[in-house]
Amino acid sequence: MASRGTASGAAMAFLLSLGIIGVARAQLQVGFYSDSCPDAEDTVTAAVQDAAASDPTILPALLRLQFHDCFVRGCDASVLIRSESNDAEVDNGKNQGLRGQDVVDAAKAQLEDQCPGVVSCADIIALAARDAVAMTGGPSFDVPTGRRDGLASNLRDADVLPDAADSISVLRSRFAAAGLDDRDLVLLTAAHTVGTTACFFVKDRLYGFPLPGGGTGSDPSIPAPFLAELKARCPPGDFNTRLPLDRGSGSAFDDSILRNIRSGLAVIASDAALNAGNATRALVDAYLGPAAGSFQGDFAAAMVRMGSIGAITDDDAGEVRDVCSAFNTN
Q: Which residues are catalytic?
A: 68
* CB contact at 8 A, 123 and 146: yes
Annotated ligand binding at 254? The verdict is yes
**Cα dihedral sign for 93, 63, 301, 147?**
positive
Size of the chain in residues: 330
Q: How far apart are CA 193 and CA 60, in angstroms?
A: 9
SS (H, E, C) 160-178: HCCCCCCCHHHHHHHHHHC
Q: How far apart are CA 154 and CA 132, in angstroms?
A: 27
Annotated ligand binding at 184? The verdict is no
- Classify burial at 63, counting beta carbons within 10 Å of its beta carbon; exposed 0-12, middle 13-18, buried 19 or more: buried
Q: How far apart are CA 262 and CA 84, in angstroms?
A: 44
Annotated ligand binding at 163? The verdict is no
Annotated ligand binding at 42? The verdict is no
Annotated ligand binding at 76? The verdict is yes
- Expressed in angstroms, the distance from the first to the final Cα of the chain is 46
Annotated ligand binding at 139? The verdict is no
Annotated ligand binding at 72? The verdict is yes
* CB contact at 8 A, 30 and 143: yes
Annotated ligand binding at 193? The verdict is yes
**Rg of the chain, C-alpha, whole Å:** 19
Which residues are part of a known binding site for Ca(2+)? Answer: 69, 72, 74, 76, 78, 89, 193, 246, 254
Which residues are part of a known binding site for heme b? Answer: 192
Which residues are part of a known binding site? Answer: 69, 72, 74, 76, 78, 89, 162, 192-193, 246, 254
Which residues are part of a known binding site for substrate? Answer: 162
